[in-house]
Amino acid sequence: MTTSSPASLQHLIAGRWVAGTGEDVSSVDPSQPDIIVAEGAAAGSADVDAAVAAAAEAARAWAATPIAARGAVLLAAAEVVDRHAEDWGRDLSVEEGKTLAEGVGEVRRAAQILRYYGNEGDRQAGEIYASPRAGEQILVTRKPVGVVGVITPFNFPIAIPAWKIAPALIYGNPVVWKPASTVPLLATHLARALHTAGLPAGVLNLLIGGSDVGDGIVNHPNIDAITFTGSTGIGRRIASIAAARGVPVQAEMGGKNAAVVLHDADFDLALDQVMLGAFRSTGQKCTATSRLIVTDGIADRFLDALAERTRALVVGNPVQAATHMGPVVSDSARKTITTGIDTARTQGATILAGGAPYTDDARARGYFIAPTVAELGDQPADVWTDELFGPVLAVRRATDAEEAFALANDSEFGLSAAVFTQDLTRALRAMEHIDVGVLHVNSESAGADPHVPFGGAKKSGLGPKEQGTAAREFFTHTTTVYLRSGAPRA
Ligand code: UN1
């Protein structure tokens, strides 16, 4: 499909949709990069200042708005998002490259997240402690943390923004949001949904642009907290700036997530789930399965079947119904991943499937990477340690479950993992042994429900976890109140 004419970029500042004052930018369809999806002037530094000022001005009234009224806006926005799931899912597929079904599913998921936080007023409960002194109570109250800078990645262009912005708003904080510049359509759709649902001017500001806009937000003296999802390098840089300025940061960063298939696993279930974990969204998830550890008892048969299934994946334009896997997001992503595969080969990997670029059909012009399975021996290999953020699965064999769990832990990251076994004792052992923020037993390594904590162990995350009740820890601060009567005790 082709978008008839490019959408023109606008920014939401102080409740008005405006043109930017920065340089001209454009985004493209990654399966047909000659097609421009959106274009216009990016936000400039004056826009960053105006957005932060609008948010700061809106802060007090928004914090004083009852949580149920804030929630009503999120619930109304959820309806708008749900109503547009088909169209926006298609836009998502066109600008980001995941399949149409995944695109529509993600838009519905964003609506679900908005609904979850929209109902937060009904669930709020607090803490009261016993006091060691007579006539005193000790309570913990919560206040919004202030103006929140939200910086989001390309790979979930509406779900990740929803799971950062919805809790920021429900707990009373105004937002200045910069999405990845590759996915402006979905950002605009979400901001419009919240705006038309009745969000007061200045409570949500959307700035589209590149890293200079992100830097402008992160360094702005009136930004009180920063939530970020993206690469480890940028996350650490943001965290160090935030630390120097003394503002809290929540950074959700890299993963090198392992699936462990033990000899007693249900073969077909494990195969289906490893395929989904590795190749859904073209492997562009921080929770994707990028390492596979198989024990000897099942390895030969499993790897044969996996290679065959991988070769059979239909790779192409993601809006076509027959497509299993679309392109990666950009030319630079394609180059990084292709180099990663070449390096794996020179470091001794055996390529069981994929590995070669598309050269002889329309895919050669798009940012496509063949889904790739690379088996390693005992040698060190970058493909085992470095996040490539694409459809590349590195494989090692293990003699038994203990060795497999140790290999799963052989990473500086600890976001998610999947273990396939029918043996309860081994599953319990995996829970004890594998050091991750999210563990799946007999399901793929990706996936996150809105009402439970999400985030990584080790070098995958910094600051409080996201979603569920965990989100409140980041988006509020507490006041411990020692409460005694002002009159003499009777
Ligand atoms: C999921 O696994 O469905 O950027 C969500 C990412 C993660 C979200 C994963 N923050 O891929």
In the reported structure, the alpha carbon of residue 390 is separated from the centroid of ligand 1 by a whole-number distance in angstroms of 13
Closest ligand 1 atom, CA of 416? 2
Verify whether residue 252 is a known catalytic residue. Answer: yes
Q: Which of 72, 155, 83, 81 is nearest to 111 (CA)?
A: 81
What proportion of the chain, given as a percentage, has pLDDT over 90? 97
Q: Which of 223, 28, 481, 280 is nearest to 215 (CA)?
A: 223
Residue type, 209: G
pLDDT band per the 50, 70, 90 thresholds, residue 490 = low
Q: Are 20 and 216 in contact (CB under 8 A)?
A: no
pLDDT digits (tens, 9 = 90+) for 37-92: 999 999 999 999 999 999 999 999 999 999 999 999 999 999 999 999 999 999 99
The CATH number of the structural domain formed by 257-441 is: 3.40.309.10
Q: What is the pLDDT of residue 2?
A: 45
Show the DSSP H helices in 84-183 as ranges.
Answer: 85-96, 100-118, 159-170
Q: Which of 262, 260, 242 is nearest to 251 (CA)?
A: 242
In the reported structure, the alpha carbon of residue 252 is separated from the centroid of ligand 1 by a whole-number distance in angstroms of 9
Compute CA distances 65 → 77, 169, 191, 227, whole Å. 17, 11, 20, 23
In the reported structure, the alpha carbon of residue 465 is separated from the centroid of ligand 1 by a whole-number distance in angstroms of 13
Q: Are 454 and 241 in contact (CB under 8 A)?
A: no
pLDDT digits (tens, 9 = 90+) for 161-213: 999 999 999 999 999 999 999 999 999 999 999 999 999 999 999 999 999 99
**Please, where in the chain does CATH 3.40.605.10 lie?**
2-253+460-479
Show the DSSP H helices in 229-291 as ranges.
Answer: 232-245, 267-279
Q: Are 414 and 435 in contact (CB under 8 A)?
A: yes
Q: What is the pLDDT of residue 487?
A: 86
Contacting residues for 58 by C-beta, under 8 A, at least 6 apart: 174, 200, 201, 202, 203
Report how far residue 102's alpha carbon sits from residue 104's, in angstroms, rounded to the nearest whole number. Answer: 6
Q: What is the pLDDT of residue 3?
A: 47
For ligand 1, atom 1: residue with the closest CA: 447
In the reported structure, the alpha carbon of residue 341 is separated from the centroid of ligand 1 by a whole-number distance in angstroms of 23
Report how far residue 138's alpha carbon sits from residue 127's, in angstroms, rounded to the nearest whole number. Answer: 9
Q: Which residues line ligand 1 (CB under 6 A)?
A: 153, 155-156, 160, 229, 252, 285-287, 446-448
Site to probe by mutation for ligand 1, drawn from 151, 156, 227 as the one with most ligand atoms within 8 Å of Cβ, is: 156
Q: What is the pLDDT of residue 444?
A: 98
For ligand 1, atom 10: residue with the closest CA: 286
Closest ligand 1 atom, CA of 156? 4
**Please, where in the chain does CATH 3.40.309.10 lie?**
257-441
Catalytic residue selected from 95, 96, 102, 252: 252
pLDDT band per the 50, 70, 90 thresholds, residue 104 = very high
Residue type, 305: A
pLDDT digits (tens, 9 = 90+) for 17-52: 999 999 999 999 999 999 999 999 999 999 999 999
Closest ligand 1 atom, CA of 286? 11
Burial of 226 (0-12, 13-18, 19+ CB in 10 A): buried
The CATH number of the structural domain formed by 2-253+460-479 is: 3.40.605.10
For ligand 1, atom 3: residue with the closest CA: 447
In the reported structure, the alpha carbon of residue 156 is separated from the centroid of ligand 1 by a whole-number distance in angstroms of 7
Closest ligand 1 atom, CA of 230? 4
In the reported structure, the alpha carbon of residue 255 is separated from the centroid of ligand 1 by a whole-number distance in angstroms of 10
